Amino acid sequence: MKPHSDISINRAMHLAVIHRYGEMSLEQLIDGVDALFSNPDFDDTTNIVSDLSHASLEVTGEEMREHAEYCKKILGGSSNRLAIIAPDAVDFGLSRMFEIISGAIAMNPCGRSGWVGDLIR
């Protein structure tokens, strides 16, 4: 499968979902982020779910750091929250690294008071 990202935004729920497919390189990750952030329906109140269920991250730790720094620079001090769905331990670990570096940490986003849990109730 050719690596790509599909984006859907629900303005009423202030939610964007970026579905990733295939073996994602740093360039493909950044292309997806650029497409999301340039979408006219995306703003600083839009929460983000990054779904890696059908993808694998083909990046080094250094490349993930670059990606996180890039996103941090674009988002600045916005109030966007992020949840990442990762299918395996390696992608989960890289995703947590991204969240820590970018400042997009959502402590227990699916818990009782977590915003993701509110979406699926």
Per-residue pLDDT of the chain (121 residues; tens, 9 = 90+): 899 999 999 999 999 999 999 999 999 999 999 999 999 999 988 999 989 899 988 998 899 889 888 888 887 767 778 888 888 887 777 777 777 777 755 445 554 445 455 554 4
Separation of alpha carbons 89 and 101, rounded Å: 18
Q: What is the pTM of this model?
A: 0.75
Q: Please give the tally of structural domains in the chain.
A: 1
What is the dihedral sign for C-alpha 33, 37, 39, 45? positive
Give the CA dihedral 20, 25, 31, 34, nearest 10 degrees.
80
Q: Which CATH number goes with the domain that contains 39?
A: 3.30.750.24
Expressed as residue numbers, the domain containing 81 is 4-120
**What is the layout of strands, in order, in the sheet containing 82-85?**
4-10, 15-24, 47-57, 82-85
